[in-house]
A and B are shown apart, each in its own frame.
Chain A
Amino acid sequence: MRSTLSVIASLIAATAAGAADLSSVDAQGFVELRGVAVDSSLPSYVHGGLGLLPFDDEHDGVESGHFVLDLRAPLSETLRAQFSAIATTGDDEQNPVDITEAFIEWRPYPQSQWRWRAKLGAFYPPISLENRGVGWQSLYSLSPSAINTWVGEEARSVGAELSATSVGATLGRDLDIGGVVGVYGWNDPIGVLIFERGWSLNDRVVPLFGGTRRPFRMSDHDRYIEPTHEIDDRLGYYAGVEAKWQGRHQLRLLHYDNRGDPAQQGYADDAWRTRFDSIGASVSLAGLMLIAQAMQGDTAVGPSTDGRGMLIADYRAWFLLGSYSLDKHRVTIRHDRMHIESTRGAEFFDSNQRAQAWTAAYLYEHDSHWLAAAEWLRISGSLHQRELLGLPAEATEQQLQMVLRYSF
């Protein structure tokens, strides 16, 4: 199934390269250098541990950070291809260079108050209100919230999305209102990462052919949790509504269900049935941006007589973010709460997390090329899985990151 995915991604890339006039390609990206200091006794999940930060005591100091390339190429008057790639070093990633998004978007000219958009390919579902920058980076901090970290790690849609928005300005009204529907495959393992590791906060998105080191290995061929696999040949869907007031204030609701069959087993991972409801709101007042998002759902795996799964865990998270921008400066404060609880099969594997996080970030945008940023992140709380490794469940981890980024 990964080979099918590979063919899809290659086709989109080849179509884009073949059809697009190179001079019309819109290319953006960045390279960066990071200085990282970590205060945590736990090895990072990136290196197979159960620390929730992407860095740890043995992997901090000067890091090369990310290299992100984002290409947009018109294929025709109303059709365009978007292709995003990321290169990250030093994090045990299988592919140092990989694709994060590859899709074709149809943007017909609006002929009435309704604006239609359609996407085909691999892209993020419309959940995050933070990740709006090049390479799906957050505009407000370095590390996105726990919710949007997870979207970047596991919620990968490879399929089709259709949205329609009634644009209020065309009617002399302040309200835009719209709906979105997505149908996708290759997302059967979604849920396994937060089930085993718990919620985390990091900007390490998992690319289409990438994965995250598995904290609890069962065999020789399951070293990585890879989110983009099709195991049960069942399509998943999401459906949502969005309202925008005066083009500035936003409310977004989404229901996501990968319709996985928890009885189906794959080569490395089984199919997980993962469903959630997501709500997000943002308010923009002059230089101040306030964002709140919440998510609640469950994930299940394994055969059971009632078909609901042998292991089931409920999860929820929310965050509040305030960000103030003045001239070239931006200051952001965010508070995250995360919760996971096994509701079935805890005797086999008890997934249980109660944690909170504080993030404080300062971004200085010198010009359109240079960005300097500093971020302090503190995650504290309990993760029961640590006890399975003989560690205390409770931990407080802190991380300071300084980034110098050149965008082009």
Chain B
Amino acid sequence: MCARVESFVEPLEQIKRRWPEIAAALACARPGRTWGLTQTPVPTLRVGEINITSCYDREREAALQASRIPEASEEAWVYGVALGDLQRVLLSRPALQRLHVVIMSRAVARKSFEVVDHPWLADPRVTLHYGSVDNVREPFVCAPASVWTAERDCQSLRDRLLTALAAPMIRAFEARQAASIKRALAANVARLAADPDVETLQGRHAGAECYVIAAGPTFDEVVEWLRPRVAEGVVVAVNTAVLPLLRQGIVPDYVVAVDPAEALVKHFEGIPTPRALADVPLVYAPGLHPRVLAAWPGTFVKANLSVPIYRELCPHNPRGVLFASGTVTHAAVDLGVWMGARRLCLVAADFCFPHSRSHASGVSTALPVTGPKIFTTDGSGRSVPSTLNLVGYRDELVRYLGRVEGVEFVRVGRRGAAIEGVEFVEGAP
């Protein structure tokens, strides 16, 4: 039982009457961050290092946010409590009959209830939710800073919300990719007619231990652990990991590349020992840029991908289809499963930026870790910066792994983002 906070009065009393379970959950929330009201043109609540609303014009901001909900809508979902401005604007609409407000962080909501009045809590049209909503319900609007400060249990919902908000941008990116893929398919016609299909690899390594190696920052921490083990297993590397592996004297058995970007060629330029790769197949998506294919010094195996653009443009060639949903790591894992791995070890598949780095040392496409980040937890339960894309790929991988039977999935690289259902190899870094 936790102590009651003295200043925690009217809003909690209202919540206690209407939603006693939520009141109990709020009363036990741990602050965990620094708090305060800003001394700005309009005061707002500051949580850690961010303002929870505008500190110049809260009313105008709330009106803008509310405009996401059609005026005639009878129902609306608000994710995040903020300071209640958005709720007030929506409830001023005569058409609105049901307003669902979802708490994304008990600590932030509780502090907000402490510092400002929340008369919307008394409105009979309001239903307050905590912990019972795990999907994006329409029509919805976010009190964005309350979503960015989501507590751990609400981070999966946070990611879905942010993905939904980014949908127009994702569609634009996919449209640009589609144009590149179409050009590459035309240029790769002869190769696609001649190269063996990934179908031919089915069951090739039945019962094997397979290492799927990405080029996340934890690569540098796990490579010494990896070195003596790879000789006994099958090594599937994503394109980004080729140079880091070769620099460590490890030659992969297979390399996977799926991204249609021409920039991938950087991963195959300047390979120190190209002859070592002479018999190593590049398992490639049919829309891979021709320059990337030309730069590969080994052999080739074509593979289709489980994405709409390939289903539309080349549904029958290649015949073998690998799972992919945004990252080459998906296809590399599915290749290991396809070839019959009994145990599949994920290496440096980090989906985050441990040590504020994007990749292993020496990866030519490494980026400075700037721009908008979200936080997720690493394999040891620590908070670690990531991006919406990366946690989305991680979540897609989790869903894929849930569909695979008969394969044990493990991993190394404890500073990587936690992957539900995948345990760390005991004693490994």
Chains A and B come from one and the same complex: no
Q: Which residues of A contact B (CB under 8 A)?
A: none
